[in-house]
Amino acid sequence: MTLGRIIFNNARQRLLSTALTGLSVAVGVALIVAILTIKLVSQERLRVGYSGFDMVVGARGSSLQLVLNVVYHLDTSPGNIPFSLYEKLGKDPRVKMLVPFAVGDNYQGFRIVGTSDIFLRDFEPQPHQSFELASGRIFKFEESELLEAMKDAMDRGSHEKTDGKDDHHHDAGHCEAVLGSTAADVTGLKIGNTFVATHGVQQNSEGEKHQESPWTVVGILKPTETPADRAIYINLDSFYHIEGHVIEEKHSSKSDSTASAEPEPGQISALALKTRSPIAVWSLRREINNGDEAQAAVPSEEIRKLLTITGNVDRILLIQAVLIVIVSAMGTALAMFNSMNDRRRDIAVMRALGARRQTIMAIIVGEAVLIAGLGAGLGLILGQVVVQASASMIQAAVGFSIPAWTFHGFEVVVLIGMLMLGVLAGIGPALMAYRTNVAMSLSSNP
């Protein structure tokens, strides 16, 4: 038998008290683990998300909204920008990669993003990791066809404005879609299947369907563990072939929070770009922001602002969780204080058998540490269970996947912190045990 066994036996002897105090520690630790895990994964995912672009260009308004919409497929588009800006930036020597975006439709709640093949070929959703196809191919995209489609759409728009009739038909052969992995899994769409988009960026039973414009699935992407998995990508030229877009734009209610302003002819939702040098980011941004056509936002800056805002909320939640842990440690101390009267005789017996005062203190502190350690261990597991239980909800809301049972390093700090808190919780009762009057306790009635 060892001191450890004595500590274990003492804790087991007061099983209910040990279990309840350990459980209260576990709840506090679980909250800390859940909050920190979700916070760290979110931060990591947000950072990864913006690492693919140096800058996004979109309608004037909230720059954070623009970044969230373009990079993370969250929120609604703040508006549209002239298509000419795409052409202009495409010729700018400072721009290394330019990706156009047009948004405003969804299929079963998954956002449909009109874009170019450059996005699927050259964009890196994760650092140094381009999109990979799980099956099929990426859609066909021709820059010249986009320009032609844009011209057609503008002509069509002006024609509709004059007589209100629709006498144009689009080329259905261009309507190709590549699905993010989550979008493919949930919708069940396979290569060769067709689907019809619904107006708005979120699923809405009242949303108008573009019945006349079915898209054919030509490719399905491998999972990237980013919001990109939840999007459906279509070739941008086909977006402007859709007859309904111009008309629907006129009829759509601006008060509908799920609706997103679809680009009118001659317009585009946003542009995302990578520059050839960091200096180019600042010069381009200054130029664009000095004009009145659009605004340029740097994702890293916007995400930093967002993390500052959410960081304050995280901090409050974390403080609450830490308070719960401290209260549970106080509960442990209180439970042990209450038990000291009952165990005074046991302590006196151990002293009579040769145990030193310091040994008795070590046993009592060890018991508090054992309870805190068991609680912390259980809390670490419970915290991961909470994270996993909320993972699907988080993914549905923001598109971030939370990997199962990931280890971040803070768990060790939490565990050590809890053990130290256990030591603190045990010191008071241990001092009480230290002062036990052996002679008096031995002669008292059991």
Residues in contact with other proteins by the rule CB under 8 A: 1-3, 5-6, 9-10, 12-13, 345-346, 348-359, 438-439, 442-443, 445-446
Buried b (16+ CB within 10 A) or exposed e, 96-109: ebbbbbbbbbbbeb
Query: Which of 57, 355 has the CB closer to other proteins?
Result: 355
CA–CA distance, 45 with 39 (Å, rounded to integer): 10
Query: Which of 67, 355 has the CB closer to other proteins?
Result: 355
CA–CA distance, 265 with 279 (Å, rounded to integer): 33
Output the smallest distance, CB 11 to other proteins, in A: 9
Query: Which of 5, 251 has the CB closer to other proteins?
Result: 5
Q: Phi/psi at 277 (nearest 5 deg)?
A: -150, 155
Output the smallest distance, CB 343 to other proteins, in A: 9
CA–CA distance, 57 with 295 (Å, rounded to integer): 6
Query: Which of 2, 205 has the CB closer to other proteins?
Result: 2
Contact 210, 196 (CB under 8 A): yes
What 405-414 contacts at long range (C-beta under 8 Å, 24+ apart), as own/partner pairs, is 406/37, 406/41, 408/36, 408/37, 408/40, 410/36, 410/40, 411/33, 411/380, 414/29, 414/32, 414/33, 414/36, 414/376, 414/379, 414/380
Give the residue carrying structure tokens 């728009």: 157
Output the smallest distance, CB 2 to other proteins, in A: 7
Query: Which of 93, 446 has the CB closer to other proteins?
Result: 446
Output the smallest distance, CB 350 to other proteins, in A: 7
CA–CA distance, 22 with 8 (Å, rounded to integer): 13
Output the smallest distance, CB 354 to other proteins, in A: 2
Output the smallest distance, CB 398 to other proteins, in A: 51
Query: Which of 138, 348 has the CB closer to other proteins?
Result: 348
Report which of 207, 62, 237 is spatially closest to residue 143, judged by C-alpha positions: 237
Query: Which of 10, 76 has the CB closer to other proteins?
Result: 10
Output the smallest distance, CB 359 to other proteins, in A: 6
Sign of CA dihedral 60, 62, 63, 65: negative
